[in-house]
Structure 1
Amino acid sequence: MKALFSRYKKLHLWLLANLALLSAFLLARRSRGAMNALTEGFTNPLRRAIGQLCERVPFSVAESLYVLAALGFLVFLVLGVRAVVRSRHRSGTVYALVLGLGNAVLTVYVLFCLLWGANYYADSFTDKSGIDVEPVAVDDLERVTRQFAALVNEYAGDIPRAADGAFAGDRAEILAYAPKIYENLYEEFPFLEMTDVPPKAMRFSRVMSAMGFTGFYFPFTGECNVNVDFPAATLPTTVAHELSHRRGIASEQECNFLAVLACLRCGDAAYRYAGALSGYIYLANALYSADAERWRAVRETLDERVVADLRASGAYWAQFEGPVDTVSNAVYDGFLKSYGTIGVKSYGACVDLLVAYFK
């Protein structure tokens, strides 16, 4: 054993360093104060600073890193196989290759825990906002759903429409407006205040759609990245959602709530409509589960232009239903649960916040 450690000393020391840092994080995450100090004093400012630098690059650095990582892994496999074939000590070569790859993956995971994972254990938006979230009564749920149905009907006529009646807003204009959308929330929630930058449009948006993703925040570059292939009616809330992650808010349900609220409060018609539409979708889905008859009654009040957007979205996402979408969602669900959240289903839990705030 000692000889094995000495032969691959650098790899083993790398492994020990990874395990030491990971152990320290796992212990420290039990302390809310420690996580608050880490996120507010170091990791959140660091990610924002990196994001300001990456903003100067006209493409998504995160997307480029994913491509380079995939290519690097393929090169590693080819060179690794060749090294094993040519080696006189194949078992040792395989061991070194596996240990090296495992170390690289573990290092990325440890850095992710420090740069982003700590936010799952720090004070949440709900903690800071003072919004009192209680179990949702069906009557309250129906009332707020009707409120959002009325809003989305009101805003439906404020935006450009295609021949089929669906949303026809300009995606570039939506992304360009992004730095302004949270400005009207700063007085009520001053801890949200920061300088925003436009999100990056993903070149491989179609691939994201196949995996069931509309956007993601990449903590290693501080970038918000959005899918620009899906129907644009809810693109503004996707943008707002990712910008809420940029503020160190990890919970998907809280980001959904903030996206709806920020869009409703901002001065852009496309964002207001998207906020009302997304809010209605979250609430209506919950109402359907609670009482299908009440849901139908609210659904019948929708403007035909709103219905056109719902149909366009449904038709688009239906084409991607399959094993890739299922697996990617299962993986992401497992990732969320590993940080103590309730998984992908937590997206629907923003209903609690919407009802508490708007009832």
Structure 2
Amino acid sequence: MVSLFEKLFEFQKRIHQILFSWIPFSLGDLLYILLGILLIYLIIKLFRKKTRSNSLFKILIVLNIVYFIYQIFWGMLYFQTPIIAKLPKTEVTLEVRKALALEYLEKSKATRKLVNEDKNGVFVIKDLHAIQQEILNQQKTLPTFITQKKSSDTNSFKPSLFGKTMSFTGILGYYNPFTAEAQFNAELPSSYLPFTLSHESSHQLGFAREQEANFIGYLIGVHSKNPELRYSTEYFTLKSLLNSIVEDDEKFVKTALGNYSEEMKRDRLNERKFIAEHQGYLNDFFGFTNNLFLKSNQQEGAITYSYFIDLLVRYKSMYIK
């Protein structure tokens, strides 16, 4: 049954990309705005006795239609065979995670020297379109034992119309299943952005689970010849590993952070500044609701990195003798 929805996903994605990819702005965001206006209008009519029953009926119809389309276009993909079932079993020990953290620390330090900086010495993206094209190219190189999903040459990356709001929610990007657009927050620090694009492109391939999209994003970026994409991927991997270690060995994490190159320290400071400037109740609210959404779709919460780390360790174990 799930394979049927996978085929349906590929079909609708191809059609939607043909129809919508050429539009220079996010059509999906515009549809959400129009849907929001419609619902607000119907909710207002709920307070009028004459139109209450009719408005309630229309609200239920609209919500059910949206939910039904979401499920057949996207929701059923959460029931695909997990990637972890395709990788060898291995013990995810603290020592293994530490070794990988040190490996990606050195890789990040080396790749960081290859990217551009702004006047403050912070990593800045030179060519965003080149990164997007590289992601599409790298999709074709994914290991066939992990996925045989069809890649696309169509660039459907779109900066979200809600960029400023997204900055206050902690949401870096999202995939719109109604238009097959990979939305991203264009205001993100450059250290976040390339991997965010890679992550959202993984959703475009049909990987619904968040941590699996992280893993596919990792595979897309880690071997890239584009240093901006590779650095963002290596840096994300390093941060994920350190986050998985900190509760077990805080001293190790502090030492690793101290061993960041000066360039990486500036990038980290820039990220922390961005986060601090966008903290607030909206961030807390969306963090809470996003956790509920993830768990309702049989996933871990947003702050949990263990599944991605499990996938990473299992994958890396295949190449360690």
TM-score higher than 0.5 here? yes
Q: Which segments of structure 1 move beyond 6 Å, counting only runs of 4 or more? A: none
Q: Which structure has the bigger radius of gyration?
A: 1
Equivalent in the alignment of 1:97: 55
Deviation at 1:356, TM superposition (A): 2.1
1:145 to 85, 101, 109: 101
Contact 1:252 1:347 (C-alpha < 8 Å) held by counterparts: no
- Cα distance between partner residues in 1 of 2:65 and 2:305: 29
Q: CA deviation at 1:78?
A: 4.9
| Residues 71-111 of structure 1: per-residue CA shift (max 9 Å, x gap) | 22333345555xx2xxxxx3x63122112102211221121
In structure 1, stretches of 5+ residues that fail to align are 1-33, 85-89
Letter paired with 1:123: T
May I ask how many residue pairs the two structures share in their alignment? 315
Taking a change above 3 Å as real, the CA distance of residues 225 and 347 of structure 1, as seen in their structure-2 partners, is farther
Asked if the contact 2:244/2:305 (under 8 Å) is kept, the reply is no
RMSD across aligned C-alpha pairs, in angstroms?
A: 2.0
**Shift of the alpha carbon at 1:326?**
0.9
Give the match for residue 142 of structure 2. Answer: 185
Classify the secondary structure of the residue corresponding to 1:217: strand
**What's the offset of the Cα at 1:316?**
0.1
- Structure with bigger helix share is 1
CA distance in 1, matches of 2:268, 2:89: 29
- State the shift of 1:190 in Å: 5.1
Asked if 2 retains the 8 angstrom alpha-carbon contact of 1:39 and 1:122, the reply is: no
8 Å Cα contact 2:43/2:55 also seen in 1: no
How does 1:186-335 map onto structure 2 within 5 Å?
A: 186=143, 189=146, 191-198=148-155, 199-335=157-293
Where 2:303 maps in the other structure, the secondary structure is: helix
Equivalent position of 2:7 in the other structure: 41
Measure, in 1, the Cα distance between the counterparts of 2:89 and 2:269: 32
Matched-pair identity in %: 22
**Structure 1 residues 117-132: aligned runs within 5 Å:** 117-127=75-85, 130-132=86-88
What secondary structure does 1:266 align onto?
coil
Does residue 1:55 correspond to 2:21, yes or no? yes
Question: How far does residue 311 in structure 1 lie from its aligned partner after superposition?
Answer: 1.1
Q: Which residue of 1 aligns with 2:113?
A: 157
The one of 163, 167, 174 aligned to 2:131: 174
CA distance, structure 1, for counterparts of residue 228 and residue 13 of structure 2: 29
Q: Distance in 1 between matches of 2:265 and 2:89?
A: 30
- The TM-score with structure 2 as length reference comes to 0.91
* Alignment partner, residue 17 of structure 1: none
Which residue does the alignment assign to 1:11? none
